[in-house]
Structure 1
Amino acid sequence: MYLSRIPLNPARRGTRKFLSSPQVTHAAVMAAFPPGTATHTGSDGRVLWRIDQHGNDIHLYVVSPGEPDFTHIVEQAGWPTTAAWATRKYDQLLDTLAVGQAWHFRLTANPVRNALTRPDATAAKVRGKATGLNAADQLNWLGCKASDAGFTLAESGPPGQREDDVRILSRDTLTFRRGTATINLSVATFEGTLLVADAERLRTALTTGIGRAKGYGCGLLTLAPAG
């Protein structure tokens, strides 16, 4: 597995396209892998990406089973003469995970619930379309996903007032075209501190993603040393 970081130039038209359309970004990311290169190896990993933006500081992060070549992205949306991209082997971090460790994390996800509808008074409930959540529900969604992903949320605050150490950095609904269809995607970016509860499950979450819409920039969990 590989983890890549590509700086994007906010003045470039390509960057504006990436920010407005996950479909465009997905196509550009997948074009970084030559034919025959592994882009999906089942439970061992898949291509995941996320754009982090802080004012004019914009970076594209990509996790992938195969080693990428982002020359085209740098030419379209980056800094061709001054900065390229950085790629490192991800296994070096994955192999260090152990139960009890604390890590700072960031995750952009598509937190939804499957609405239940009742067609008539006697019919059983049936699965409905996915719907977006409010901020409190999105935090609850993350708490529910944490167990399957092999971590718990750390707590902070004075005794008797401790809360999960997590916050929502941004919430948005993205609208973009996919062929003839219009896609509306509810996204939220979470940041906080997690504790490793199951190292193997966390490795799987880091390499296969969390939640839905992984092809549209959701699901990529990244870690940094806590504190």
Structure 2
Amino acid sequence: MSAYFSQVEWQPQQGDAPALRRLLAGGGYGLHQAMWQLFERTEPPAHRDFLYHRLADGRLAFYVVSARAPRSDVAGWRVRSKPYLPQLRVGERLGFTLRANPTVARGREADGKGRAVRHDVVMDARRSLPEAGEAERVARAGSQWLNGRDGQRAAEHGFALDSVIADAYTQHRLHKPGAPRAITFSTLDYRGVLRVTDAERLQHALLHGIGPAKGFGCGLLLVRRL
């Protein structure tokens, strides 16, 4: 399949203050809408076929991986795209970063549908690790989620973790105009070194992401050669 890696950055012109306010509205919901707008043609796409990751340097700048090249004609945005098809080798060690929405299933919903309830792993760890400090809970619960039991989650995505740091725990509340309730989710930032165990599975993870909340800037796994 074809894919694209893009660098997208807000570069406002004089008098763009109203546009900036719209982007930052709703606790960040405006940015979510802006990312979708980059992939609209005559109408919104039927499904999301892109991932994005906001850089943690204070700018409105993003890395985007997508099945289609994003538009380059949306006012205020600078978009630079190139074809993206990672070439991977089993046994290769890669540095990685990831912003994820790690959750764990606990119990069942009380609506009679019997669905598992998803819980924020850090909030869950406050119950299972009551004596630990917050930084330790974040680090332990976050790394356990990414690795999975006996390394199963990592293996499903084609890698093994050689080292990992999980931090920057953040709770988000996004307000969609007209919606009765806020959209809530949490994120952790990961960085470390992984080892390729299955090149095809890891390539799929790089193109399709890891974990939930991908439509809100989570799940894009970024790698670099060491």
TM-score when scaled to structure 2? 0.75
Deviates more, 1:29-38 or 1:193-202: 29-38
SS of 1:106's equivalent in the other structure is strand
Q: Which runs of 5+ in 2 are unaligned?
A: 123-137
1-structure distance, mates of 2:32, 2:70:
14
SS of 1:53's equivalent in the other structure is coil
SS of 1:99's equivalent in the other structure is coil
Distance 1:38 1:16, change over 3 A: closer
SS of 1:116's equivalent in the other structure is strand
Corresponding residue pairs, total: 194
Structure 1 residue 38 displacement after superposition: 7.3
SS of 1:195's equivalent in the other structure is strand
SS of 1:105's equivalent in the other structure is strand
Structure 1 residue 187 displacement after superposition: 0.7
2-structure distance, mates of 1:137, 1:61:
26
Partner of 2:126: none
Partner of 1:24: 30
Provide Cα deviations, 1:154-202, integer angstroms capped at 9, x if missing partner: 1xxxxxxxxxx21124110001113222111111110111111100000
Decide which of 3, 8, 17 is 1:6's aligned counterpart: 8
Structure 1 residue 25 displacement after superposition: 2.2
Letter in 1 for 2:9: P
Distance 1:31 1:170, change over 3 A: same
Distance 1:68 1:117, change over 3 A: closer
Q: Once superposed, what is the RMSD of the aligned Cα atoms? A: 2.9
Would you say 1:140 and 2:134 are equivalent positions?
no
1:175-186 pair list within 5 angstroms: 175-178=173-176, 179-186=179-186
1:158-173 pair list within 5 angstroms: 165-173=163-171
Letter in 2 for 1:137: A
Partner of 2:161: 153
Partner of 1:199: 199
TM-score when scaled to structure 1? 0.74
Partner of 1:131: 119
Structure 1 residue 22 displacement after superposition: 4.7
Distance 1:22 1:209, change over 3 A: farther
Tell me, yes or no, if the aligned pair for 1:52 and 1:60 is still in contact at 8 Å.
yes
